[in-house]
Each structure stands twice: as structure tokens, then as C-alpha cells.
Chains A and B, each alone.
Chain A
Amino acid sequence: MIHITDILFWFIYAISLYTTIFIIMTLIEKRTSPKKEPLANPPKITVIVPAHNEEKTIKGTIESLLNLDYPKNLLDIIIINDGSEDNTKKIIEKYKSSQITIINQKNKGKGNALNRGLKLAKGKYVACLDADSFVEKDTLKLMLPHMDDPGISAVCPLMKVKNPKNLLEKSQWLEYILYAFIKMIMAKIHCINVTPGPFTIYRKKDIDSIGGFDETSIVEDQEIAYRLQSKHHKIAQSQEGNVYTVAPKTLKDLYIQRKRWYKGTIITFCQYRHMLLNKNYGDFGMFQLPALAAGMLTLPLVVLLFLNYTTIPIYKKLHQLYIINFDIIPYLTLERFNMHTLLTTSWLTTDFSKLFIVTLLLITSAALMIKAHIDTREKMGIKDITPLLFFFIIYYIILSFMWVGSIIELARGKGNKWS
């Protein structure tokens, strides 16, 4: 008899395997990387910083921008205080100068703030920077050469987690590295589906031509990437330009962040569903979106399987104890440990087909993780074994639960606004 969990398992394996193989094939494809020589004629750039209650981080964000290795007269900064109720206003006012424009407005949402900045921007390129993120000195210089290709409308930064300390932050650090690496690969076949809030650079005329940011979206950085894709604009991924962002420190904060992301992902996906399996959109329609859809379906299955493998055995054990009136004394004697019996039974009860594919996927994931660390120039040491194990075993299960929670909230029509 074939069990339902077996079917789910094989389904997940098949999808994961196909996706992994496709990604590896893309990884080994030749790519045309941008020239690395310094820019002869640096263009004018405007950086828009939308801020809503960011008193803790905005100072560092602005300082990092001022510290950029770029001609001052070619770099404008527009800070939009989107109705902050904390000290954000006080902090930013100090920075007002010919280079930095400060705008205070009532809370109208991030998309609105970005559009307001976009209207005022004079640069040929516009960069957005979330007020909880920080650029490195050479980030801009390293990212701009991608724009030499006129077909490219946006360049994504190499997003990393700032000073990860606890296990949850470290997991996100690993997640970001892996994600950045996957994005580098996906950029080769023009399949990027998010242009992150921390320091994506846009070609202003392109973003104007598609009508700026969607003010109703809760994930305006995803929505604009989809819109760019739907108009066949290309998005590049920088391999050098680092941006550091503050990661949620607690599960609760992570859940708040992910709920918005995941709900936004579903909403945006549905908005652009006409691109799914549509050959006109190239690999984005034929691979990226189907893979995303498969991922969306797989995550709830992961939750189901997890529950199946944990709660059912626990329930069975409890039931067993109940039947024998919780008389556990006969079991407290030391049984003779028999290695031979143990090996025989484990050999007989192992499903080698599953084991083969699971091992293969684990080895591939590990290899990709190592490659990701090399390509993003992040160091991984012996002390990172714990976060690595936590990341691979527990973190994804946590995310799966958050994913399911987000779906449930979305279905109940709760909180589809930026918060």
C-alpha cells in the first residue's frame, strides 16, 4: 500500500530535484559579467530614503550614504519622513544640506514616499535605501557598471545581514547569503523577482515609464520587479556591492516581517499570474514563476510532514502509555544493548530510495552553500556549524510555519497593508 506521505515526499523530491538541477545548469552556463574598470563619466544619482519610525538606525544609514566613495555633486539624497512618531524627524533635520533634501509627510506608506522622492529626483539613476540598511564605501561604484548595458533597468545589491549575533540572526545571515547566490544565478537568465528595498539602483527613465512604485502594494519592492519583468526590462544582480541590513532578532519580529513578505508574495504572484507558464516571458514565466508556485505549495507540505513525523508518534506513545495505565516501571530495567539487532533492524527498515535522494539533495545543498559563501565573500568557520545545522534543519521548518500562518491570515483577509 502506498502511503499519502510517500506521495507527498516523492512530489517534493521531484520538484526540489528538478529545480536544483536547473539552477546548477544555469550556474555552470557562461555569463557576460560587466566590465570592472572605474567609471569614466560618473552619472548623477539620487538616493531616496523612506523612513517610518527608524530612530534607531537612520543615523547610520545616512552616515553610510555620506561616506560613499562618489563625487558629492553627483550624489543627491532625499529623505522622506513618512509620518514617523518617534525621533526620526529630529535626527534627520540635522543632516539638511545642499546635498540632502528632507521631506516630512503624513504616513502614506512606503510606495507613496518612494514615488514622492522619485518626482524630485534629478539623477539619471535612482537608488532606494531602507532606513535600516547601510551601504559600504564602494558599493555604488561596484554596482553602477551593470548599467552600461542599456537593456538593464535595475541592479540589485548583495544584501547581507548586519552583525548577526543570535542563532536566529545567524540563520538569516545564511539565508541571505544563499538567496544572494541564487539571485546571482537567476540574474543570468533574467529571472529576478525582487529588487530589494536596501539599495536597488533603478534607471530613472525606465521606472518612470512603468509608472513608479505601486502605492497599494505591501511589498512594493517585489511588485516593481514583477512589473519590470512584465515589460521585459532586465534586472541585474551585483556580485560585489554589499549592503547590510538589520535582521529581526526575535521570532516575533521575524514573523511580523515574513507575514508581510509572504502575503505580499502571494498577492503579487496572483497579480501577475498571466506570466506563469507563458513562453513570452522567457525563463521568468517558464521557470522562475513555476518554481515559486511549487515552493509555495511545498512549504505547507513541509509543515504537514513535520507534524506527521512528530505529533503522530508522540500521540501513539501517549496512547500506549494510557492503555498500560502509565505503568512504566517494567521498562526501566537496563536492556542488553545489541548492536547486531540494531543494525539488522535499521537496515531492514530503511527506505533506500528515499535515503538516496535525500542524501543527494543534502550534499547538493551543502555544496551550494559552500559555493555561496565563496561567491559572496563571507567567511564560514567551525563555530558556524551550529547555525548551519539550525538553518538546514529547524529554520526552514520555522519559515514553513510562518508561511502557513501568512496564508491563513491572507485567507481571512487580515492586514494586507504595510505595517
Chain B
Amino acid sequence: MRTLKKDKYIAAAVLTAIIFTLGLLMGLVINEYKIKYMEQLAKEQEVEFSSLQFQYLYLDSLEDYERCPVVSKTLENNLITLAPVLEEIERYEREGDLNDAAYITLKRKYILANLRYWLLAQVSKESCKNEIVTIFYFYSQECKNCHNQGITLTHLKQIFKDRLLIFPIDSGFGKEPMISILTTKYNITEFPTLVIEENIHPGFMSKDELLEHICSLYTTPQPECEGITSSQAR
């Protein structure tokens, strides 16, 4: 028989618990900051959106087409900052760091901002005759091929940069009425579905198919489309 110092076991357990709690608390506090930062980001983004819209309307009313490229450029720059925002919002959702209400609000704001961008892009194209192709990408969280479609779209975005604007729409997100309006308008029944310049393409589109299609939509020859446009020229 041997003696056992029970106190030590308990003390070690208490210390472990304290350190653990400290770690968790620190994580929670920093997460709070993260969320605040995200919200701040969203607010700044909103101001940015309204500013842009106003800028554009103002420039448009002046019919000063010389300034079109500047506007398009600003549009693109803001799209670049918008993409990581979505990634972050979705990461928070996955990890449950953000409560539902906060998440929904953030995501709605993001969706609306995106749609406003889309409207701006349409106007910009008409008035400025920009070489921009816009794609609505309808996806759902459960869909099998959406991940692959996402990869192809990211790849094409990498190729065409500011000449290709992609607007991802999470169709399963029912909290924003605009989404159901869009899915009804384009009669979306399966995922992924791509709406490329008002042409509806249900089902997964491979990189080559997409490239061919996008290339056919530019009015002037694009260096990335060399050797691809031929089949579309029929």
C-alpha cells in the first residue's frame, strides 16, 4: 500500500482548468473584436456602396463618358475587397463564431451590395461600352458539383480579371427576398446554374466550355481567347 497526495491531483486539475478557461476566454474576447471588425468592415462597405452609386449617377447625368473607365475601375477595386468579406462571413458561419442574427444581417448586406454592384455593372456596360462579361452563379450549400464550379469560376476570374464579373448567389439563403426574386426570374431549378449575360446554363460547366462561351461574348478580340473563338464564329 502506498500513500497518495490527493491535493496534488486536484491542484493540477484546477490549474489545467484555469489555463484552459483563460485560453477559451481569450479566444472569445478576440472573436468579439473580430466580429466588431467585420461589422465595421460591412459598414464601411455600405458607405462605399452608396458613395459609388452616387458618383456614378452624378457622372451619368453629366453624360461624361470620358469618366466611364474610371468608374469601372472603382467598381472592380471594390469587388476585390468584397470577395474576402464573403469568405470571412462564411467561415464564421462554419465555426459558429457569429450568432445567427448577426450572421444573417451581415450576409444580407453582402448580397445586396453585390446586387447593387451588378446593377452598376449593367449600366456601366451600356453607357461606357465596357468589355465586361457578367455571370450570376447560383449555388446551394448541399450541391455536389458547386465546389468544382467554384474552382473553375475562380480560375476564369484569375484569367480575365476585371473583364469578368462573377456574382455568386447562395440560393439556399431564404432570408433575403432578392434571392427568391432572382431564382424565380431565371427559373433556377438545379445547382449549379450559371446565368451568363442573361443566357441560362443549368448544370456544371467545365473550364473549357466556360472559356469558349465567355470568349464569344466579347466584341473585341481578347488575348486570352486566341484559338478559342474560332468554334464560336460559326
Contacts and interface: CB of A to CB of B under 8 A. Distances in A.
Interface of A: 1-2, 13-14, 17-18, 21-22, 25-26, 190, 232, 279-284, 286-287, 319-320, 323-325, 327, 330-331, 341, 345, 347-349, 351-354, 356-357, 360
Which of B15, B28, B84, B96 has the most chain A CB within a 10 Å cutoff?
B15
B84 A345 contact: yes
B16 A17 contact: yes
Nearest to A6: B95
B155 A330 contact: yes
Nearest to A22: B12
A196 to B, nearest CB: 23
Given A21-B16, A325-B207, A327-B155, 5 more contacts: A25-B11, A280-B2, A323-B207, A351-B27, A354-B27
B4 A348 contact: no
A325 B16 CA distance: 51
B95 A1 contact: yes
B36 to A, nearest CB: 12
B8 interface: yes
A324 B3 contact: no
A284 B3 CA distance: 11
15 contacts: A1-B94, A13-B20, A14-B20, A25-B8, A25-B11, A25-B12, A26-B8, A282-B2, A323-B152, A325-B208, A348-B34, A348-B37, A348-B88, A349-B91, A353-B27
Interface of B: 1-5, 8-9, 11-13, 15-16, 19-20, 22-24, 26-28, 30-31, 34, 37-38, 84, 88, 91, 94-96, 148, 151-152, 155, 158-159, 207-208
A21 B10 CA distance: 11
Contact of A352 (B11, B27, B38): B27
A17 B208 CA distance: 53
Contacts of B27: 351-354, 356
B96 A2 contact: yes
Which of B5, B23, B28, B34 has the most chain A CB within a 10 Å cutoff?
B23
B158 A331 contact: yes
Contact of A324 (B5, B15, B151): B151
Contacts of B208: 325
B16 A352 contact: no
B16 A320 contact: no
Nearest to B95: A1
A330 B158 contact: yes
B144 to A, nearest CB: 13
Contact of B22 (A232, A319, A356): A356
Contact of A190 (B2, B9, B13, B34): B2
A205 B20 CA distance: 48
A323 B151 contact: yes
